[in-house]
Amino acid sequence: MTALLEVGYVGKAHGLKGEVVVHLTTDRIEERTAPGAVFVVAGEASVAAGQPELVVRSARLQQRKATQELWVMGFEGVTGREAAEALRSTVLSAEPIEDPDAVFAHDVIGCRLVDQHGTDHGEIVALVANPASDLLELADGRLVPLAFLESADDQTVHVDVPDGLL
At 63-78, the pLDDT tens digits run: 777 667 789 999 999 9
Report how far residue 35's alpha carbon sits from residue 38's, in angstroms, rounded to the nearest whole number.
Answer: 9
Q: How confident is the model at residue 43 (pLDDT cuts 50, 70, 90)?
A: low
DSSP state for residue 120 in the 8-state scheme:
E
Q: How confident is the model at residue 1 (pLDDT cuts 50, 70, 90)?
A: very low
